[in-house]
Amino acid sequence: MIDPFLKVKHLRKEFGGLIAVNGVSFEIGPGEFVGLIGPNGCGKSTTFNCISGLLDKTAGSVELFGTDITTMRPEQIQKIGMTRTFQHTRLWRQMTVIENLLVPPRNQLGSSIKEKIRGIFQYDSTRDEETRLDRAYSVLDQLEVPHMAHNLTSELSGGQSKLVDIGRSMMGEPRLLLLDEPVAGVAGPLAMKIFNSLRKMVDDTGISILIIEHNMDFILRQGVDRIIVMNEGRIMMQGTPDEVKGNRAVIEAYLGSSGEKGAEEE
Amino acid sequence: MSSRRVTLAIFLLLDALLLGLLYGLGTLNLLDAILLGSIPNDMIWLLQVAQSLSCGFAIVKILLDTKPGDTPAVNLLRSAAIISSPALLFALVLFTIEMLLKGQGETASITFDLTNLGTSTLMWAATYLSIAIGLTLTYKVQRYGNFAQSELFMVGMYFGMILGWSEYYFVLKEAPMDGVIAWTLLLRSLLLAFVITGLLGVLIDRIVYRGFRLRDSSPQVMMIASLGVALILRSIYFMRFSSAKVRFIPDSDFTATANRWELPTSRIKLNLGERSLAEGGTYTYQTCEQTGIDETSGEPIMERIVSEGNRPTVEIYDIGIDCISPLTSNLSYANGSLPVVVFISVAMLVLLLNKTRLGMRMRAVADNPELAASSGINVERVQQTSAFLSAGITGVGGAIFSVTLLFNPTTGFALLLPAFAVIVLGTIGSVSGAIIASLMVGFVRASSTPILTGVGFPLDRSGYSALSGVMPYIFLVAILIVLPKGLGDAIERWNIEKERNRNKEARSLIDKRIVAALALLPTGILGLHHWARGRSDKAQNFSIIALGSYVAHKVMRFIGKNSFADGACSDSCIEAEGRSSNIELITSNPDASLSTKDSPYFDVDASDLDQKWFELMELEIQTVNALSDISDWLWPWVPLALWLFAIRQGLQILRNGRTNENEDRADFISAQLLRVRNSINSSLKGPFSKASTSISEANKAHSALITKVEVGVSGLLLNWRSMIAHKSQKAISLFSDERLDRIRDPYGREGRKGSWIAFAALATIILYLIWWLPVNSSPEEFWWDKIFQVSNVTIGMCVFILMAFSLNLHTGYTGMVNFGIIFFVGVGAITVSVLSSPERYHGYGWGVVPATIFAVLLTAVIGWALAFPTARLRTDYFAIVTISLGEVVRMLLSAEPLLRTGPVKSAIGIGSYPLPLKEWWFCGRGVKTGLEQEFLSPDYCKWASPALDSPANSISDLLSLGEPAPYSLLLATMSVFFVITIWWILERVLTSPWGRIVKAIREDEEVAQHHGHDVLKHKAASLALGAGICGLAGAIWAWQLTGLSPTFMSPAGSTFLVWAAFIIGGSANNRGMVIGASIIVLTGFVFNVLAVASTPDLPLYETANTIDKTFKWIVTDQWEITGIFLIVMFGGIITRRSRLVEYGFWGSIVFCFTAIFMEGYRSLMAASDYTGEVTISGGGMSYVRLMLVGTLMLVSLILNPKGLLPEVPSRPERPSEDTV
């Protein structure tokens, strides 16, 4: 049995008197494409924030690639191999697209002092910078926005921003990617394309992706391996899209209200 | 985790206190021993005191940080410790002093006069609060930190003076002392100060901040804009009123010794340090003891007994030397009025915010402007109301403050930082927090005076008493680190908790008979029956009305008694024989009547002055009579009415179990008001509607006309333009497209090439201007003088360029708003100069090079260390911390003997330090200077005969200068070298991966963190690098100045100018920094030339004369200027330019006002030099420059927010195939 990439155990988060996440446990295996769904305010984003180290946890533990990351800070967690995006796309707006992509690569400054000085003063005479640039451009090629490389990200459209955000996350070479509603506000065909390329990424490179999606109808059709359904701070059920579709409780508690809303959005 | 931190803190505390201060065996002493005793003893104990106090704060912080434990006992202990922490910290201060003095074998006595401590706490609290409350409102509603708030305070301060100088009021103000206070001038100036300062606030808001709001600018931009506003306002006041210190005395009787309260007090004298006496020494203290019994009255006789022996730790005195009369502390009426006025106006503001609709709207806008707008609130109007209130209340504070102390235009600025301390301690945006915090900061200020005075002398630091002004800054820094969210946050959380608990338990209903009884009894006046029914808001209304009317009654009674009101008889009147009223007291008219004959100016015949005086006195009497009448109505009639109302409610409760809510008092009043308003409206409607239709018709016709004209004009313009385009096309076609494309940058100034081209163009202009700068010199010496001048301009520019580089790194690239550039520069300059000063001048005799290297490293380390406590603070908090640190160092420079070098140790300042390579420059290679050498100093080499073979002389020969080349030439060369090196390093560093990481931190810290970057580490590195650059800038500056005095660190002459350079030049572009800094330094030199241009043969005389004439014209002919603004306004109306209308309208209002009040003889005297001539030549020119800099800053922010050379984002190309 292969160890799971991410192991969340009895995660609990309280804000004052409000219990946002109430004892959530799940695992993400290697090369898995998992969807996390649930109605508004059910604690999806809070779960993300707790896993990525943005919020302190009230109780429970998180393990990433066998390392306990419960009390780690976000930058330490990223170094272990997990990157996340935010629900509202937060690009560095007064920087160009290519600059945005060049920030996340690991170990850019070197680890020893000698390497650091070299990394700062002779960065462009080394191979590393060229490799990074090449990789950044090839990511832009994949996302089909290489023509925007020299634009400020504040000049991008909403859909392009989402793409660049995903591309930027890839630059940190994560083995586990946490995406918070990556296709919210993106037109149908493009959203489909994003999902397809994510699927391809999972299949080709063997990374795992955990994706929050608000629109249930949509995610059921997009070929994720497994879906975790949250409601009121708890996990309601986990299973393949077909199992979720067949679960009456989920459909009653969730699809009934939010399904209609999703239809409206489309 | 926390227990380890507590242990460490306690260990360090004990290390400092017991081992270090008491026995000299602390860690620092050990370090000193390792360094072979090279750290001066004074510095060790100073650091140990700092260590001890910061450990105290650290322990409090740890207590606050730790999450509540499980057991109630631990929780209780923790809360108890937190609540008592202010007292514990105060005790720690005293205990540290005790240990320090014991260790040094010295004694200090600190005398606290308790009443005086209380009154000065109140006075300082009121002073700080009047600025802080304005800051709070601005923060709450307009959402930025207003650095011009202290300038609004300044406007208020001068307001009383302006009124007093005016032709109408001066008669009263300048009347000689007669024993009775005239209140008119004070009351009017308070009232008018509120209105006028408030209007000024609205004016500034409309002209400056509204534009930023519409553009959704960040709070930082508005904060920096407020800095520009502050510079402009302050320099205008300097120009108009000079830097002379004045005090507003509304009536000379305010200064009479009789007009004060004598309050009972006790004095506590603490003897700290070494209390046992040397062999044979005595210490005398006095106690009152009974020495016998008076035989006639049988009362005991008390006498002072002198006791001898060791010093007691505490001596308490509350009776005078005669053992009968109690000790008193005096509080003049003028000083006492400060807290009364400020706290009453703040109370009224609180009422306004909490109990009125306007207040509700303001709070709604503060919470969420968009939501407020969508629910039908006119957000813009609320913003303006808030601007009016926040400026007005600060203006009132300034006006009443001006009665208590001497002031000049910078007085306000010194109060701004403590006011920031108040709002930070009280949580930004919380009014109740600010009030409590102001009392705490006031106490810190008031109690530090006796401590510093008492301790300063035995420690050879008598100058320390001046440091009480910076105690609030130090307190601020500590507070930000310990309690970054402030008191208001705690209050808020407590309130929420209370509310929650209340909702949890269903409230037990109190028997309605008890409630009714509470209403029927006098407790109904305070609204206790509402409280018992759980309607605390209504209870509050009752108590506020009752208490408010009592306080108002008391204040008005007091004014009435000490005035010319009918039948008023003050204490001195009661004491005087046969006088029954105050008027009789001064006029000796038994019927208490006044006539022109009683005028103090009366001399045989009634003159104009007497008539004026008489009119004013009639006004005065009417005013104070009205006040007395109101006072009589307020008490007891208002509480009685309240009681009647409560009784009615009580009866209703008995009958129905509840009050009739609809007939509530406030609702009733507002209904009446509404009815009145409606009737007025309806009566006005007829004529108005007619007028409005005719106006709107006229309007339509007008706008049609305007459109026609505009179409015509634009058609003309279009023609013209196409003609020009055609012609220029021809000219351009001379160049081939290829050539043009090679020059053109597709991104303009925001591209790499475009930025360089723009830089080259601007740099050429600046180089030309440097060359153009005129010199006042004879033809023979022209070249020497020119070289000297150009070198000095260059050095100045280099210093400012380096500072701007540092600011750009911190703020432009890393996004930390640093207002403390001068802090790092000051530390660098001081370190270099003190370390390199020769030992015989109380320095340390280091070489210049090691001293410079050490200074740069030291500032870098300080910058690095600063990141840790401050990195988690909001950006504007960081700004406040850094500016405070700069001020602390500036004050230390004037008070701390360790920071003094020169032939005389007691003189303030650092001097007589060697300059780098100066010896080589003047004496040549191989010649040494010094006490035992041939030449005492390089300056002796300079004039050595025969001339030495030195670089200075060789250059002089080469250019035939006639005398040795100036040292500044060498220094200029070195600084240019430094600037180019640093620039190169920065360019490398900032284009490297690290550069883009810090930019990512600037844009969004949290996301940068999620992409694997340790924000704290990078911020610390950025701070360290920038601070190191500042350290170098400080060293060069020290070498240029050749002597450091505290004034070089004043923020207006350094930090703010660097900020102006940063804004003008362009954030995140080092080329922009070079240009911006050069412009700022050049203006300084131009105005220096202007300042000395006093005779026609000097350069720039004409310009100086024109500026002077313009100033004179503005000051003396204000009606003309009002007229010009009116013309502008009408021009705006005709051409439909709303901007022009607005500028014209406000300009005419401002100048109309100044024309009315400021054209009198006395006012002009205040604007004049000592000869009585209104002029700005000479020293005044520096204020013109400051105004210009402020204006440049504002204009740049408004019109060109990215600066002359905007940031150039990096756009690396795809690597070509063959390289990868």
Q: What would the DSSP string read from start to end of B976-1030?
A: HHHHHHHHHHHHHHHHSHHHHHHHHHHH-HHHHHHTT--HHHHHHHHHHHHHHHH
A6-91+173-265: CATH topology: Rossmann fold (3.40.50)
The residue of chain A with its CA nearest to that of B987 is A121
B746 touches chain A (CB under 8 A): no
Q: How far apart are CA B1087 and CA B480, in angstroms?
A: 40
Q: Could you tell me which residue, B386 or B541, shows the higher pLDDT?
A: B386
B69 with B122, same domain: the answer is no
Chain B residues touching residue A130 (CB < 8 angstroms):
1215, 1219-1220
Lowest mean pLDDT among B723-737, B935-949, B1059-1073: B723-737
Lowest mean pLDDT among A178-192, B22-36, B717-731, B1066-1080: B717-731
Does B1209 touch chain A if contact means CB atoms closer than 8 Å? yes
The answer to whether residues B634 and B661 belong to one domain is yes
Are B456 and B342 in a shared domain?
A: yes
In a domain, B966, yes or no: no
The answer to whether residue B1212 neighbours chain A at the CB level (below 8 Å) is: yes
Q: What angle do CA A116, A120, A122 make, to 5 degrees?
A: 105
What's the CA gap between B1089 and B470, in Å, rounded? Answer: 35
Phi first, then psi: what are they for B808, rounded to 5°?
Answer: -65, -40
Give chain B positions within 8 Å (CB) of A120.
988-989, 992-994
pLDDT tens readout for residues B146-160: 999 999 999 999 998
Lowest-confidence region among B342-356, B575-589, B729-743: B729-743
Residues of A in contact with B1219 (CB under 8 A): 130
Same domain for B374 and B515: no
User: Is B1183 part of a structural domain of the chain?
Assistant: no
Cα–Cα distance for residue pair B615/B409, rounded to 1 Å: 33
pLDDT of B70 reads 58
Cβ(B836)–Cβ(B848) below 8 Å = yes
Q: Does B989 touch chain A (CB under 8 A)?
A: yes
Give the mean model confidence (pLDDT) for residues B52-62.
87
- Residue B275 and residue B251 share a domain: no
Least confident residue range of A115-119, B76-80, B179-183? B76-80
Q: Is B1025 on the interface with A (CB under 8 A)?
A: no
Chain B residue with CA closest to A97: the answer is B1211
* Contact (CB<8Å) A78/B1003: no
pLDDT in tens, B272-312: 888 887 777 778 777 787 777 888 887 777 777 777 778 88
Q: Are residues B209 and B180 in the same domain?
A: yes
* Residue B328 token pair: 């008193």
Looking at per-residue confidence, does B866 or B1174 come out higher?
B866
- Residue B703 in contact with residue B1137, Cβ under 8 Å? no
In a domain, B338, yes or no: yes
Let me know: does B821 contact B1073? Beta carbons within 8 Å: no
- From the CA of A73, how many Å to the nearest CA of chain B? 8
Query: Does residue B507 register a pLDDT over 60?
Result: no
Contacts of B1006 in chain A (CB under 8 A): 54, 74, 90
Residue B217 lies in a domain: yes
For the cut 50, the answer to whether the pLDDT of residue B1220 exceeds it is: no
Identify the closest residue of chain B to A51 by CA–CA distance.
Answer: B1010
What is the average pLDDT score of chain B? 86
Chain segment B639-656, per-residue pLDDT in tens: 888 888 888 888 888 887
Cross-chain residue pair A104–B989, CB shorter than 8 Å: no
* The pLDDT of residue B233: 95
- Chain B residue numbers touching A169 (CB-CB < 8 A): 1011
Give the pLDDT mean for B1172-1194. 87
Q: Are residues B87 and B154 in the same domain?
A: no
Give the separation between CA A35 and CA A224, rounded to whole angstroms.
Answer: 7
How far A102 CA sits from the closest chain B CA (Å)?
A: 8
What pLDDT does A2 receive?
67
CB within 8 Å: A133 and B1212 = yes
ipTM over 0.90: yes
Q: Could B1007 and A75 be called an inter-chain contact, meaning their C-beta atoms sit closer than 8 Å?
A: no
Contact criterion met (CB < 8 Å) for A94 and B1003: yes
Contact status of B1021 with chain A (Cβ, < 8 Å): no
Distance CA B1121, CA B1154 (A): 10
- Which chain A residue is nearest to residue B493, measuring alpha carbons? A16
What's the pLDDT score for residue B727?
75
Report the pLDDT value the prediction gives residue A259, as an integer from 0 to 100. Answer: 43
Looking at CA atoms only, how far is residue B992 from chain A in angstroms? 5
B432 to chain A, closest Cα gap in Å: 23
Q: Is the pLDDT of residue B990 over 50?
A: yes
B813: closest chain A residue by CA: A94
Question: B336 and B318 in one domain?
Answer: no
Task: Give A-chain residues touching B1013 at CB under 8 angstroms.
Answer: 75, 103
Pair B884, B476: CB distance under 8 Å: yes
How does residue B199 score in pLDDT terms, banded at 50, 70 and 90?
A: very high
The residue-averaged pLDDT of B383-407 equals 95
Identify the residue whose tokens are 């041939």: B934
Q: What is the DSSP letter of B907?
A: S
Could you tell me which chain B residue has the CA closest to the CA of A75? Answer: B1012
Domain match, B873 and B854 both? yes
Q: What is the pLDDT of residues B409-435, one digit of tens each?
A: 999 988 998 999 898 888 888 888 899
- Quote the minimal CA–CA distance from A221 to chain B in Å: 30
Q: Judge residue A233's burial from the number of C-beta atoms within 10 Å of its C-beta, 0-12 exposed, 13-18 middle, 19 or more buried.
A: buried
Facing B1011 at nearest CB: one of A124, A137, A172: A172
**The pLDDT of residue B886:** 92
Give the confidence band of B978 by pLDDT, cuts at 50, 70, 90. very high
Question: Which chain A residue shows the shortest CA-CA distance from B1218?
Answer: A130
Specify the pLDDT at position B483. Answer: 77
Rounded Cα–Cα distance for residues B95 and B909 (Å)? 31
CB within 8 A of B514, min separation 6: which ones? Answer: B532
Our measurement of the distance from residue B1166's CA atom to the centroid of its chain's CA atoms, rounded to an integer in Å, reads 24
User: Is the model more confident about B720 or about B505?
Assistant: B720
Structural contact between residues B432 and B103, judged by C-beta atoms closer than 8 angstroms: no
Distances (CA, A) of B1080 to A51, B1059, B1086: 50, 10, 10
Residue B379 pLDDT exceeds 80: yes
Residue B288: phi and psi, rounded to 5, are -95, 130
- DSSP string for residues in B1094-1161: -STTSTTHHHHHHHHHHHHHHHH-HHHHHHHHHHHHHHHHHHT-HHHHHHHHHHHHHHHHHHHHH-SH
pLDDT, tens digit (0-9, with 9 covering 90-100), for B315-333? 888 888 778 888 889 999 9
In whole angstroms, what is the distance from residue B404 CA to residue B331 CA?
11
Tell me whether residues A131 and B1009 touch, CB distance under 8 A. Answer: no
As a whole number of angstroms, the distance between CA B944 and CA B963 comes to 12
State how many domains chain B has. Answer: 6
* Mean pLDDT value of segment B832-848: 91
Q: Which of residues 482-511 of B touch A (CB under 8 A)?
A: 500
Residue among B997, B1003, B1215 whose CB faces A93 most closely:
B1003
Report whether B147 contacts B416 (CB < 8 A): yes
Q: Which of B620, B651, B667 is the last residue of a domain?
A: B667
Judge if B396 and B538 occupy the same domain: no
Helices of type H across B368-470:
369-374, 379-401, 411-425, 431-456
Say if residues B66 and B75 touch (Cβ distance below 8 Å).
no
Calculate how close chain A gets to B482, using CA atoms only, in Å.
21
Q: Which domain holds residue B101?
A: 2-105
- Give the model's pLDDT for residue A265: 38
Domain presence at residue B940: no
pLDDT digits (tens, 9 = 90+) for B722-772: 888 777 776 666 655 666 666 677 788 888 888 999 999 999 999 999 998
Structure tokens belonging to residue A219: 């995610």
Reply yes or no on whether the pLDDT at A258 is more than 50: no
Yes or no: say if A239 and A246 are a contact pair by the CB < 8 Å rule: no
Closest chain B CA to residue A108:
B993
For the cut 60, the answer to whether the pLDDT of residue A127 exceeds it is yes
H or E element, residue B128: helix B114-137
pLDDT band at A113 (very low <50, low <70, confident <90, very high): confident
Q: Do B1003 and A83 touch (CB under 8 A)?
A: no
C-alpha to C-alpha distances, B1211 to A97, A98, B425, B1208, nearest whole angstrom: 9, 7, 45, 9
Q: Are B166 and B237 found together in one domain?
A: yes
- Answer whether the bond into residue B687 is a cis peptide, omega within 30°: no
Among candidates A90, A108, A133 on the partner chain, residue whose Cβ is nearest the Cβ of B1214: A133
| Section B594-605 average pLDDT | 81
Q: Where are the beta strands (DSSP E) in B151-259?
A: none
pLDDT tens-digit map of A13-68: 888 778 889 889 999 999 899 999 888 888 888 999 999 999 988 889 999 998 99
| A182's tokens | 């990556």
* Residues B159 and B187 both lie in one domain: yes
pLDDT band (50, 70, 90) for residue B581: confident
Q: Is the pLDDT of residue B1219 over 60?
A: no
Which residues, in sequence order, are CB contacts of B834 under 8 Å at separation 6+? B843, B844, B898, B899, B901, B910, B913
Contact residues of A toward B, CB < 8 A? 17, 52, 54, 73-75, 78-79, 83-84, 86, 90-96, 98-100, 102-104, 106, 108-109, 119-121, 123-124, 129-131, 133-134, 137, 146, 149-150, 152, 168-169, 172
Mean of the per-residue pLDDT values for chain A? 85
Q: Where are the domains of chain A?
A: 6-91+173-265, 93-155
The CA–CA distances, whole Å, from B408 to B128, B165, B240, B975 equal 17, 16, 11, 37
pLDDT in the model for residue A260:
44
pLDDT at A252 > cutoff 80? no
Going by C-alpha positions, the residue among B818, B980, B1018 that lies closest to residue A120 is B1018
**pLDDT tops 90 at residue B811:** yes
pLDDT at B505 exceeding the cut of 90: no
Q: Is B625 on the interface with A (CB under 8 A)?
A: no
Per-residue model confidence as pLDDT tens digits over B651-700: 888 887 665 554 555 556 667 777 887 887 777 776 677 777 888 888 88
Interface contact B996-A102, CB threshold 8 A: yes
The reply to whether omega before B1096 is within 30° of 0 (cis) is: no
Count of A-B CB contacts under 8 Å: 112
B1219 interfacial to chain A (CB closer than 8 Å): yes
What mean pLDDT comes out for the span B1150-1157? Answer: 87
Nearest to B770 by CA among B982, B1075, B1030, B1060: B1075
> Residue B693 has what pLDDT?
83
* Cβ contact B1215–A121 (<8 Å): no
Q: Which residues on chain A are in Cβ contact (under 8 Å) with B993?
A: 102, 108-109, 119-120, 123, 129
